[in-house]
Amino acid sequence: MDNYSGSGFASKNYYGSGFFQMRIKLFENNSSGVVTAYYLTSKGDTHDEVDFEFLGNIKGKPVTLQTNVYTEGVGYKEQRFSLWFDPTSDFHTYGILWNPYHIVLYVDNIPIRVFNNNTSKGVSYPSKPMQVVSSMWNGENWATDGGKTKINWAYAPFKAYFQGFSDRGCHLDELSNDAKACGSTMYWWNTMKYSELNTYEQKAYKNVREKYMNYDYCFDKARFPVPPNECRYN
């Protein structure tokens, strides 16, 4: 990314379920205001989306990992983490499991966020065909210190590095109405084994959230005096 444009790439395929992984190494110098993203997204105004967003920072200060989920075009479901490693010094693996039971976000195979499918309780759940996208863009109005710390263009061009994309997903036509056709247990990620975290994952999940999560929209009473409906079930 430079001061003329950002950049990105996307999968040619669209998916209705799957387990998607990418190895990413972030820009290692002053990256305040720069957002590097890896996510699933559908098309249209009422799009679904599942995000990893790395919020750049001044060199020596920690990079924040923000996660988000959009359903029916509505996001505002941010959870943020201070990672237990330096994501600029080496490649790390970021994964998204999406099946009929839940969406799980992984960092180096450790689950950090779970978004359960509670459509039976009136909670919307990503169900549209989504493609895998990575991008780098200018987020200086909000990404670092709430927008107070701007991009220092003397460090441009900003670069992120990607490798090892894993295409383990059910391919679906972009114009398909929904992803239900990809809910079959013929796909290993849809089997009951992956309907909930195993015992090891539950312990790791609890540990990460207790030690490294520094923001959860469900507990932001200034924004949500009444917690959003899905917060009761996730």
> What pLDDT, on a 0 to 100 scale, did the predictor assign at position 166?
86
Cβ–Cβ under 8 Å, residues 80 and 213: yes
Residues 6 or more apart whose CB falls under 8 angstroms from that of 161 comprise 24, 25, 91
Instruction: Summarize the confidence of residues 168-188 as an average pLDDT.
Output: 87
Summarised one tens digit per residue, pLDDT across range 189-216 is 999 999 999 999 999 999 999 999 999 9
CA pair distance 213, 94, nearest whole angstrom: 16
Of 53, 72, 210, 230, which is the active-site residue? 53
49 given a catalytic annotation? yes
pLDDT band at 36 (very low <50, low <70, confident <90, very high): very high
Summarised one tens digit per residue, pLDDT across range 90-111 is 999 999 999 999 999 999 999 9
> What pLDDT, on a 0 to 100 scale, did the predictor assign at position 14?
95
> What pLDDT, on a 0 to 100 scale, did the predictor assign at position 234?
80
CA pair distance 97, 74, nearest whole angstrom: 20
> What pLDDT, on a 0 to 100 scale, did the predictor assign at position 225?
97
Structure tokens at 81: 């983490």
> What pLDDT, on a 0 to 100 scale, did the predictor assign at position 116?
97
Instruction: Summarize the confidence of residues 137-166 as an average pLDDT.
Output: 97
Of 28, 49, 196, 201, which is the active-site residue? 49
In terms of DSSP bridges, do strands 102-107 and 34-41 run parallel, antiparallel, or are they unpaired? unpaired
140 given a catalytic annotation? no
Q: C-alpha distances in angstroms, 203 versus 95, 154, 194? A: 18, 43, 16
pLDDT > 80? residue 176: no
pLDDT band at 117 (very low <50, low <70, confident <90, very high): very high
All structural domains of the chain, each given as residue ranges with its CATH number in brackets, are 7-218 (2.60.120.200)
Instruction: Summarize the confidence of residues 52-77 as an average pLDDT.
Output: 97
CA pair distance 107, 205, nearest whole angstrom: 10
pLDDT band at 72 (very low <50, low <70, confident <90, very high): very high
Average pLDDT of the chain, as a whole number: 96
